[in-house]
């Protein structure tokens, strides 16, 4: 199949003047051709969104709600097609692709019930003070390749609910499912309210410097986030940056290795480790270290990798060649810096398959522990003293997520309160919920998505101060 997909620009489906093949990471075949927006098409999308904003900002909560629910219905009605396409371009197993559609619908459902009503702060005989949360204008939503639909919806839903319009740019290696969604929603979303343009960093940069873009909501790497922050400065755009993470999971000495190992494993290798907030360094108390290492290695060795459309596959490939080579580089380093007890060799087959790799006897100060590999490779580090460990964990430049594991929830919560990261989970990890803010600290970003706080990031605070005397 080599069908070119269309972009959604101001309510019209528009072909690219240039095309780029999208590669299936499971076998390196071409899935389809993706359009590459040129500068005029990016400008047309922004212009369309700016025009639509004039009408959309005046819509009522029920009108916005209806559009979000209509998008959700489109996803539900076309879930099989969208999930299958997502597997082909992203690589994840089909049940995980179906889960991504469910997550997107869950986010749409939650945001559809939100509103940003005027709050009356003071209402006295002589004066009245109102707090308004006004829309910003046109939002640019820039999305990475690990969860294209979920992350696009996590921007579209709050942007629309608060009265903004949006231009979405998916990652160049996973544009197809988002483009297809655009084709499917073209008739249910008013023209210009949601636009989808595809391409690489040039398209992204045109959006982040565009004078008519009021806000950039970016999810991606810390390096790109810094570029975006700099490029948004000139026009003083609002920014939300959801960037890289190097989440620590801390296993306290009283934890039950047999009970927690399957959860630790699941949350280290979910989507083959290609999630911002999965476990990326696992710290285990010396008393449990051997037991946890053994169990993690056994589960990794037993994992079935394969094409995501093959029902027997539990894990897919790394999403793209550049990332595949990066992950293999981290594994090479781990051969020197630690002891590989599962995986460790790229599979000899087409596609970007890296076996689930577990590394023990490795320490802080090595690339695998200190950096974000963003792939199926997990270092397990031994510790003895929890206070010293908290300091070590907090030395990381990242601050996205972390978790603490113990039979004693109160003890785990005390440790959690001392970790410098946007979220600390206790006896779970990466438990995402549209109602719960997902904030960032340090080099993991600026601001937050989800929850009421995330919603308000799409608004400007405005005070109407009335003299009634």
**Beta carbon of residue 162, minimum distance to ligand NAD (angstroms, whole number):** 19
Of residues 98 and 443, the one with the C-beta less far from ligand NAD = 443
Nearer to ligand NAD, 14 or 400 (CB): 400
Which of 452, 412, 425, 146 is CA-nearest to residue 271? 146
Q: Would you call 174 exposed, middle or buried from its count of C-beta atoms within 10 A (0-12, 13-18, 19+)? A: buried
φ, ψ of residue 339 to 5 degrees: the values are: -120, 120
**Contact of 164 with 136, CB cutoff 8 Å:** yes
Least gap, CB of 319 to ligand NAD (angstroms):
9
The DSSP symbol for 12 reads: E
In this structure, are residues 370 and 247 in contact, taking their beta carbons and an 8 Å threshold? no
Task: Tell the smallest beta-carbon distance from residue 370 to ligand NAD (Å).
Answer: 14
Say if residues 149 and 104 touch (Cβ distance below 8 Å): yes
H or E stretch covering 406: none
Give the nearest distance from C-beta 348 to ligand NAD in angstroms: 26
Q: Which sign does the torsion angle of CA 350, 356, 360, 364 carry? A: positive
C-alpha to C-alpha distance for 469 and 453, rounded to whole angstroms: 35
- Which pair of tokens denotes residue 438? 């997902």
- For residue 469, the minimal CB distance to ligand NAD (Å) is 49
The 3-state DSSP class for residue 208 equals: helix
Residue of 89, 100, 242, 457 marked active site: 242
| HEC profile of 164-199 | CEEEEECCCCCCHHHHHHHHHHCCCCCCCCEEECCC
Task: Kindly tell me which of 26 and 198 has the beta carbon lying closer to ligand NAD.
Answer: 198
Note if 448 is an active site residue: no
Cα angle 69, 70, 75 (rounded to 5 degrees) comes to 95
Residues in contact with ligand NAD by the rule CB under 6 A: 142-146, 169, 171-172, 200-201, 204-205, 208, 219-221, 224, 227-228, 242-245, 276, 372, 374, 400, 445
C-beta closer to ligand NAD: residue 254 or 420: 420
Question: Catalytic site residue 372?
Answer: no
Shortest distance in whole angstroms from residue 104 CB to ligand NAD: 14
CB 400 to ligand NAD: min, Å: 6
Closer to ligand NAD by CB, 106 or 221: give it.
221
- 320 neighbors 145 (Cβ within 8 angstroms): yes
Nearer to ligand NAD, 130 or 370 (CB): 370
Q: Which two tokens stand for residue 55?
A: 């009408």
The answer for residues whose C-beta is within 8 angstroms of residue 349's C-beta and 6 or more apart is: none
CB of 440 to ligand NAD, least distance (A): 6
Half-sphere exposure of 77 (CA within 13 A, CB side): 9
Burial class (CB within 10 angstroms; exposed 0-12, middle 13-18, buried 19+) of 363: middle
Catalytic residue, chosen from 47, 89, 100, 276, is: 276
Closest residue (Cβ) to ligand NAD? Answer: 204
The residues, any chain, with a CB within 8 Å of residue 78's CB and separated by 6 or more, are 180, 184
Nearer CB in complex with ligand NAD: 101/203: 203
- Residue 58 sits at φ, ψ, to 5 deg, of -90, 0
What token pair was written down for 194? 């949601």
Instruction: Dump the DSSP string for 93-107.
Output: -HHHHHHHHHHHHHH
Residue closer to ligand NAD, measured from CB, 280 or 360: 280
Residue whose CB is less far from ligand NAD, 240 or 357: 240
Nearest distance from C-beta of residue 274 to ligand NAD, angstroms? 7
Q: Kindly state the tokens that stand for 141.
A: 């939503």
Which residue carries 């590999």 as its tokens?
373
- Give the residue numbers marked as catalytic: 242, 276
């Amino acid at each position: 199949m080599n069908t070119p997909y269309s972009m959604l620009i101001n309510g019209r489906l528009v072909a690219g003047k240039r095309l780029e093949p999208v590669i299936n990471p499971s076998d390196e075949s071409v899935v389809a051709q993706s359009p590459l927006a040129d500068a005029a098409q990016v400008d047309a999308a922004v212009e369309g969104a700016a025009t639509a904003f004039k009408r959309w900002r005046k819509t009522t909560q029920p009108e916005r709600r209806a559009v979000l629910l209509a998008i959700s219905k489109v996803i539900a009605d076309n879930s099989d097609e969208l999930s299958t396409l997502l597997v082909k371009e992203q690589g994840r197993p089909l049940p995980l692709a179906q889960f991504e559609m469910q997550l997107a619908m869950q986010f749409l459902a939650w945001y559809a019930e939100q509103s940003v009503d005027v709050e009356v702060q003071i209402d006295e005989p002589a004066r009245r003070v109102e707090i308004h949360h006004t829309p910003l204008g046109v939002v640019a939503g820039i999305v990475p390749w690990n969860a294209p639909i979920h992350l696009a919806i996590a921007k579209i839903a709050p942007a629309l609910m608060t009265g903004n319009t949006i231009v979405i740019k998916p990652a160049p290696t996973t544009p197809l499912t988002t483009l297809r969604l655009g084709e499917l929603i073209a008739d249910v979303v008013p023209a210009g309210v949601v636009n989808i343009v595809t391409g690489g960093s040039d398209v992204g940069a045109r959006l982040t410097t565009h004078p008519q873009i009021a806000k950039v909501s970016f999810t991606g790497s810390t390096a790109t986030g810094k570029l975006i922050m700099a490029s948004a400065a000139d026009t003083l755009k609002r920014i939300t940056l959801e960037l890289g993470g190097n989440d620590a999971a801390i296993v306290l000495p009283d934890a039950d290795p047999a009970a927690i190992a399957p959860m630790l494993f699941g949350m280290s290798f979910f989507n083959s480790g290609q999630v911002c907030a999965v476990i990326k360094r696992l710290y285990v108390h010396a008393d449990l270290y051997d037991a946890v290492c053994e169990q993690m290695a056994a589960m990794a060795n037993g994992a079935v990798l394969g094409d995501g459309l093959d029902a027997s596959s539990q894990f897919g490939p790394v999403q793209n060649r550049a990332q595949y080579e990066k992950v293999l580089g981290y594994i090479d380093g781990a051969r020197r810096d630690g002891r590989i007890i599962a995986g460790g060799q790229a599979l000899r087959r087409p596609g970007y398959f890296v076996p689930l790799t577990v590394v023990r006897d490795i320490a802080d100060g090595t690339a695998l522990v200190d950096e974000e590999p963003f792939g199926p490779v997990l270092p397990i580090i031994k510790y003895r003293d929890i206070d010293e460990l908290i300091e070590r964990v907090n030395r990381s430049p990242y601050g996205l997520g972390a978790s603490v594991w113990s039979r004693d929830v109160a003890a785990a919560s005390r440790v959690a309160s001392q970790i410098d990261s946007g979220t600390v989970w206790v006896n779970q990890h990466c438990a995402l919920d549209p109602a719960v803010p997902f904030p960032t600290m340090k080099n993991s970003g600026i601001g937050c998505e989800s929850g009421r706080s995330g919603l308000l990031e799409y608004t400007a605070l405005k005070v109407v101060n009335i003299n009634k005397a």
